[in-house]
Structure 1
């Protein structure tokens, strides 16, 4: 636990999955404002055009002008080759001056919310969802931690972008709730096993994103669908910027219990 609040995140290697849009894109922008010169970003997503647009934006920012290195990895993380390409790019971007490795596990998909649990009889369909949303997060995290092992002067922070769905069941959201719950426990175990690593399960709240639009239009359960529609209609959705500001506050204060689930409304 830090004695005093930090003013920056150090000279960092920051890896962000799902960085091309939404919350991941905002995290990249905000972290770029808080790192020291010489830092490196590895941005990961399946959408190459949006990723390269973010790369250009960060390159033109104050951080970019101060020497921020920004690399893009266009990859499908449900494929082991995608995970390997991220790790290789990180190793190439790492320099001796970097004193903080930050991994943001943000990439996720909503899954099919038009059906209820009893309809999921196809094991390949379920395996495909879990591969992207659970297996890839564990394998990428493990490989990054192996590539950058504990040593004096190197901080390591692992962030899992979680959800209320990790804690509470939502009818017709069996895939998403299962994936979020599994990831949450995965990172809680990591925190228990590796006390030198700072692990955070951050729930960003109901964000005004493409995923929320799908939630209010595709969700099979009428009560759940109405709750999302009402939040949108009543202006209760949060911007990615509002939520990300709370995440940055948590990282700078560095007082959270490693492995904890922290909701935006708790900050």
Structure 2
């Protein structure tokens, strides 16, 4: 049995990934501020999907909730493989850095970077108690924006680059020894979610590359959440992930 602990399953890519993995027989737990009744209904009462209320904009409190869950969920000891997926993310504030609201900048980094770091730390602390013969893994949903700068996205690019570097650093700490936790960071491509709608509607003065994303939509060059989730799930199940991998879903073969 594979177990997936996924942040941000209330909509978009996180919802699609959770639905796909649960449908394939894995056990999925979502960590969200907003519940997702659609996933609960689709999974039924067989325990394939459940949710824990968790507000990642308060990362210390969220990490405490997550760590308590890891300690109390005795069934984790029975899992063949356990994977934490950092999917939750926010986009705002967009625009020149000097115009950004400081509180919004702080919240952005708390959700997109601080919370993943704290949850990863809690996961590693708990991992020693799990046999998980097929492995224990932490996968961060990063972005091409973590590898290419965009004017107007100083917070977003910084946080996504931080996820990639977090992956590299902790992967070095863990190494490839017995019982080590494997870490990887994967960019999902440009996925047509509510976040993309926001980008396309942004004043080009605040985000000069808005027109590029409008064109991607007009030319049918965006992944649907389901398409991106299919590629991600296939990669997660393939066993191809290596310690410290920095991957782009567009480099993967279609499932």
TM-score (norm 2): 0.87
Greater CA drift, 203-212 or 189-198: 189-198
Q: What residue is the counterpart of 2:16 in the other structure?
A: 26
- Written as runs of structure 1 = structure 2, the 5 A alignment for 1:1-267 is 11-35=1-25, 40-48=27-35, 51-59=36-44, 64=46, 68-79=47-58, 80-95=60-75, 96-113=77-94, 115-120=95-100, 123-149=102-128, 152-154=131-133, 155-195=135-175, 196-218=180-202, 220-221=204-205, 223-267=208-252
Give the CA deviation at 1:78. Answer: 2.2
Kindly provide the CA deviation profile for residues 66-113 of structure 1, in whole angstroms up to 9, marking residues without a partner as x: xx3533122211212223223323433331322211101001000211
Q: TM-score, normalised by structure 1?
A: 0.83
RMSD of Structure 2 on Structure 1 (CA) = 2.0
Q: Aligned partners of 1:19, 1:219: CA distance in 2, in Å?
A: 29
Check 1:12–1:249 CA distance in 2 against 1; reply closer, same or farther (3 A cut): closer
Structure 1's unaligned 5+ residue stretches are: 1-10
Distance 1:191 1:224 in 2: 33
Would the aligned equivalents of 1:69 and 1:93 in 2 still touch at CA under 8 Å?
Answer: no
Listed as ranges, the gaps of 5+ residues in structure 2 are none
Aligned length: 244
